[in-house]
Amino acid sequence: MAEPILGKDGKFYDLTLDPDADVNTLSFIAKPSDNPPKQPTINQEASNDTTAVHGLLERSMMQSIHSKAFNDTAGDTHRKTFDGFGLPEPLLRALSLLNFRWPSRIQSRTIPVLLGNPPRNLLGQSQSGTGKTAAFVIAMLTRIDVTENSTQGLVLAPTRELARQIMGVIQGLGQYMDVKTQFAIPAMYDRGKRFEAHIVVGAPGTTLDCVRRGTLDLGRLRMLVIDEADNMLDLQGLGEQCIRIKSTIRHSPQILLWSATFPQRIVEFSKRYAPDCLTMTLEHHELTVTGIKQMYMDCVDAEAKFGVLVQLYHVLTIGSSIIFVHQRHDATRIAERMALEGHKISVLHSALENGGVARDKVIDDFRSGRTKVLITTNVLARGIDVSTVSMVVNYDLPMDKDRNIDFPTYLHRIGRTGRFGRIGVSISFVHDKTSWAQLMEVSEHFGVTISKVPTDDIEVGLHFAHCNIFKVKANFTGMIGS
């Protein structure tokens, strides 16, 4: 920036655009200014840290910051425009309409690679909220020929919720391209009818069934995307179904594999599935979720967790929130008990009655705000963006099949909050020495401090009032303000 900005702490900061910000978010990095204007001495030590701007600068300053940001990008070597990728005009028009100002870091890295000729396979590592979905959708829409009546793009996702979200991105970015799309997920396609879509988004099992029945022809496929590949391999049979789908394709389409982590099984899978693929990894520090306040509450025992949960919602006014539990029956049981406390609750897991239709209604009600609290298992941990979510509760910490802490799932869970530059909070419940040790593993693994929240009504309100995170309900403000 041309001139330093005065923060609420009395110090001056130089601002630069944050290159890792979400594509739809205008975000900044604030660094203590090397040449601050002369000012009265303030009895505070200078900091050498680089911090996020959120909460640091006076709100009155933000308008001037925004106007400067759009006119001062000369020193930002990362920021490019979508015009520079050679995208078709209808796609550029959709990007502009949807307010995609600049490519995110992952889009700047991957889109030129994905559009190169000859096409190259890619194994990419990406955390939630980086613009990864838009990156492969932009490449897919650029690759297909809408004058050709055949399926040219196929996206495989582990859950119907993620598949529906990906489809929303495809339809949004392809709205001026006459692109035809279709689902291959249960209850959302005509089983006996041939697919005539340019792009199909599906679950591996349903897609494989359609290919075997001859209703889905992949003979002219140009791009195949496997989203959440690490999760696919962890879920029973999905990885094998992906392999069988590929085995039916007699030519070599461009293959993209996206994974949150790179364990050895993913590396071996990529060698079989996408030969000679390029690999794009993130540094370990890039995997942490910044801008989300991570906290925990220490419960007396497992049974005491519900009382603490109800107390939390009793004290605070929370917009939308997600509560993650380990087992489906716990989700149902907690939802029933919270409903008796007067909360509008939705439950989402893989065993809902009426199958996919019921799951679609649950997520649509939550996304629209008709329900404010969603209790779910890990079925919703990955990839779902609901911008109004301000808090995530780990009622149970995420565990892998060997009962060890599941770091990638923890990262994905807390990434459901703090979307698009908003403040986000995650609260994890611990109730014994084992869960405490597991939470400390999370803290050490990601190099973050997870602060303790009191479990007393008044102290909870006081803590969040001082943190300026949530609005404390009126019947508590008088007590904590005295």
Model pLDDT for residues 393-414, shown as the tens digit of each residue:
999 999 988 889 988 888 888 8
Model pLDDT for residues 20-35, shown as the tens digit of each residue:
444 434 444 556 666 6
Task: Using alpha carbons, select from 107, 106, 19, 71 the residue that is nearest to residue 290.
Answer: 19
Domain assignment present for residue 218? The answer is yes
Model pLDDT for residues 216-257, shown as the tens digit of each residue:
999 999 999 999 887 787 666 788 899 999 999 999 999 999
Q: Are residues 410 and 377 in the same domain?
A: yes
Domain assignment present for residue 252? The answer is yes
Task: Please give the pLDDT value at position 105.
Answer: 81
- Mean residue pLDDT of the chain comes to 78
Containing structural domain, residue 381: 288-479
Instruction: Say whether pLDDT at 381 is over 80.
Output: no
Domain assignment present for residue 33? The answer is no
CATH number at residue 238: 3.40.50.300
How many Å from the N-terminal Cα to the C-terminal Cα in the chain? 42
At residue 10, φ and ψ (nearest 5 deg) are 90, 0
Q: Are residues 328 and 457 in the same domain?
A: yes
Q: Are residues 374 and 416 in the same domain?
A: yes
Q: Are residues 146 and 263 in the same domain?
A: yes
Q: Whats the size of the chain, residue-wise? A: 482
The burial of 285, by beta-carbon neighbours within 10 Å (0-12 exposed, 13-18 middle, 19 or more buried), is given as exposed
Alpha-carbon span 261 to 402, nearest angstrom? 17
Task: Using alpha carbons, select from 321, 274, 319 the residue that is nearest to residue 427.
Answer: 321
Model pLDDT for residues 176-189, shown as the tens digit of each residue:
999 999 999 988 99
Task: Using alpha carbons, select from 267, 213, 272, 227 the residue that is nearest to residue 246.
Answer: 272
Q: Which residues lie across from 6 on neighbouring strands?
A: 12
Model pLDDT for residues 202-212, shown as the tens digit of each residue:
999 999 999 99
Instruction: Say whether pLDDT at 13 is over 80.
Output: no
Domain assignment present for residue 355? The answer is yes
Q: Are residues 278 and 397 in the same domain?
A: no
Q: Are residues 231 and 373 in the same domain?
A: no
239, 265, 283 — which closes off a domain?
Answer: 283
Task: Please give the pLDDT value at position 128.
Answer: 63
Alpha-carbon span 476 to 314, nearest angstrom? 10
Task: Please give the pLDDT value at position 81.
Answer: 85
Residue type for 268, please?
E
Domain assignment present for residue 64? The answer is no
Q: Are residues 298 and 271 in the same domain?
A: no
Comparing 436 with 354, the larger pLDDT belongs to 436
Task: Using alpha carbons, select from 245, 264, 235, 251 the residue that is nearest to residue 159.
Answer: 235
Q: Are residues 238 and 172 in the same domain?
A: yes
Number of domains observed in the structure of the chain: 2
259, 283, 307 — which closes off a domain?
Answer: 283
At residue 134, φ and ψ (nearest 5 deg) are -60, -35
Domain assignment present for residue 445? The answer is yes
Confidence (pTM): 0.69
Domain assignment present for residue 65? The answer is no
Q: Are residues 106 and 223 in the same domain?
A: yes
Model pLDDT for residues 102-135, shown as the tens digit of each residue:
898 888 889 999 999 999 999 988 766 678 899 9
Q: Are residues 234 and 319 in the same domain?
A: no
Q: Are residues 164 and 109 in the same domain?
A: yes
Instruction: Say whether pLDDT at 71 is over 60.
Output: no
Q: Are residues 242 and 360 in the same domain?
A: no
Task: Please give the pLDDT value at position 21.
Answer: 46
283, 314, 342 — which closes off a domain?
Answer: 283
Q: How confident is the model at residue 16 (pLDDT cuts 50, 70, 90)?
A: low
Model pLDDT for residues 128-154, shown as the tens digit of each residue:
667 889 999 999 999 999 999 999 999
Neighbours of 341 (CB within 10 A): 12
Domain assignment present for residue 36? The answer is no
